[in-house]
Amino acid sequence: MEVVWESRELLWQGLEYTLRLFAVVIVLGTAIGILGGVGLLYGHAIIRALLRAYVDIIRGMPLIVTIFILFYGPVAYGINLSSFQSIALALAIFAGAHMSEIVRGAIATIPRGQIDAAKSLGLTFWPRLFSIVLPQALPLMIPPWTNLAVDIFKGTSLAVLVSQADFLFSVQKRASARGHYLAFYMSAMVVYFVCCFAISRAGAWLSRRTRIGLA
Amino acid sequence: MSDSRQAVAPATTAATATMPMVRIAGVHKRYGDLHVLRGVDLDVQTGEVVCIIGPSGSGKTTLLRCINFLETYQEGRIWVDGQLVGYRERNGKLVPASEKEIARLRTETAMVFQQFNLFPHMTALQNVTFGPIKVRKVPKDVARQRGMELLARVGLANKADSYPAHLSGGQQQRVAIARALAMEPKVMLFDEVTSALDPELVGEVLAVMQDLAASHGVTMIVVTHEMLFAREAADRIVFMDQGIVIEQGPPAQVLDDPQSERLRAFLSRFRSA
């Protein structure tokens, strides 16, 4: 274990990259998902069809394929994305597709009577969405959103394939430099577990916080 | 307000003075092949309490939901306080009104639902003040004070900070009535408001409605199966069957001296039940 501790600075750099990637992806993916979920339910027929295709294609494809497409694809069209940008985009597109379905599903469970009541008070679409529908849908989204966040966090390790900076890459690099593969990978396991466990707990806490008044 | 009304429906404003609070004229409603309303005519005067009775599937709830345009209708016209509901009239044709126009018109009518439909993420008081604050732009402290008065009126001042999940069905429905009243509507629509309640909770809700009806401050259209309530609170009872109005008149006349075979059959089923 001492060999691992000696490499802490390099490993920390890797973890920092991974955490930054995760933060960007979860924010972007959640934003895409909220727009996507609302669009899937209330959008124009053409928008709905396009979103449906996006969600189904991405969900039906291994994440690694999306990552490679975003890594090799744009360059072919003269668009230069950094490796961080391409992996972040790939993961955000992946997260957005799953999140869209989570948001759509949560909103769809809000009883029709809630909409009727809001309409009969004279509320138009957007205030209805923001004051009545989303506050009730949010608590339903948080548990699956937490699961998604955990999947995304583990998914950031796929960055090892296209970038040379994430946590897993730093572990790999130090392990091959120093030997002691088992010690390094066991440490990696602990770090990933601690992070994912923290995400789960944060999700559970958030879930309790948002359930005000909701049985 | 009156300016925008004229802009919305110039053709109907002239008639406002002579028009009843609610006028339903030749309304048809279809769900695909199902013909739910088959030409309903009904006038309700300002301050009048009208109870609509009839067997299930007779279209009474659908008619009620057409009055605030929660349901569209395909033929005929509905006016609330002289304003055409859900459509504009252009060269004798109906053109759908904008979302804003429909929303504004809905503030004139308030609805109380069978399933209460309180907002579960808001306290009783927040449910009552939400519409006034959000839609009517009433200052918060004014809305809150008025909300407390309304909760007191329905006997729930002590439940102001409770969430709907912690209230009984009867209490929830009384909050829902307070929520509707808070909008200071011209017309209140009650859609089988006691049907989802346990029998022992029906009385407290009917008492609030009876009190409301006796005050004659607001026009009430009440779809109900509570014959006793209809007899005591209604100025007029309307009997609907198979999508049309069959008979109407003062409670004593309609309930004690039914003219049509269908109403007689309906009432007899009721008495045997």
B273 touches chain A (CB under 8 A): no
Reported confidence tier of residue A47, pLDDT bands at 50, 70, 90: very high
Across the interface, do B107 and A132 touch by the CB < 8 Å criterion? no
pLDDT over 70 (residue A4)? no
H/E segment holding residue B5: helix B2-8
Structure confidence at residue B9 (pLDDT): 42
Q: Could you tell me the CATH number of the domain that includes residue A68?
A: 1.10.3720.10
Query: Residue A155 sits in which domain range?
Result: 2-210
Q: Write the pLDDT tens digit of every residue in A60-101.
A: 988 888 888 888 888 788 777 788 888 889 999 999 999 999
Q: Are B183 and A122 an interchain contact pair (Cβ–Cβ within 8 Å)?
A: yes
A201, pLDDT greater than 50: yes
Q: Name the domain count of chain A.
A: 1
Alpha helices (H) in B113-250, listed in sequence order: 124-134, 140-153, 169-182, 199-215, 227-233
End-to-end CA distance of chain A: 48
Inside any domain, residue A178: yes
Residues 128-167 of A with CB under 8 A from B: 131-132, 135-136
Domains in chain B, CATH or no CATH each: 2-108+185-272 (3.40.50.300), 119-184 (no CATH)
pLDDT, greater one: B231 or A17 = B231
Q: Cβ(B21)–Cβ(B48) under 8 Å?
A: yes
Distance CA A17, CA A21 (A): 6
Q: Element (H or E) spanning B221, and its range?
A: strand B219-223
A196: left (phi > 0), else alpha (psi -120 to 50), else beta? alpha
pLDDT, position A9: 72
CB contact under 8 A, B135 and A123: yes
As a whole number of angstroms, the distance between CA B117 and CA B260 comes to 36
B134:A135 CB<8 A: no
Contact A214 B122 (CB under 8 A): no
Which letter does DSSP use for residue A133 in this model?
Answer: I
Q: Report the pLDDT value the prediction gives residue A17, as an integer from 0 to 100.
A: 84
User: Which pLDDT value is given to residue B130?
Assistant: 96
Asked if A117 and B70 come within 8 Å (Cβ–Cβ), the reply is no
CB-based burial label for A211 (10 Å; 0-12, 13-18, 19+)? middle
Within a domain: A174: yes
Judging contacts by C-beta atoms under 8 Å, the chain A residues touching residue B130 are 121, 131
Q: Is B162 on the interface with A (CB under 8 A)?
A: no
Shortest alpha-carbon distance between residue B179 and chain A (Å): 9
| Contact list, A123 vs chain B (CB under 8 Å) | 103, 134-135
Of B99, B109, B120, the CB nearest to A125: B99
| Tens-place pLDDT, residues B116-149 | 999 999 999 999 999 999 999 999 999 999 999 9
| Residue A179: predicted pLDDT | 77
**How many Å lie between the alpha carbon of A135 and the closest alpha carbon of chain B?**
7
Q: Please list every residue in chain B whose beta carbon sits closer than 8 Å to the beta carbon of residue A124.
A: 99-100, 103
What ipTM was predicted for this assembly?
Answer: 0.88
- Is the residue at A215 inside a domain? no
Q: What is the pLDDT of residues B20-49, one digit of tens each?
A: 999 999 999 999 889 999 999 999 999 999
H/E stretch holding A86:
helix A83-108
SS3 B161: coil
- Picking from A112, A119, A120 by the largest number of B CB atoms within 10 A of its own CB, the best residue to mutate is A120
pLDDT of residue B7: 42
State which residues of chain B have pLDDT below 50. 1-15, 273
Q: What is the pTM of this model?
A: 0.84
The answer to whether A127 faces chain B, any CB pair under 8 Å, is yes
Q: What is the pLDDT at residue B11?
A: 45
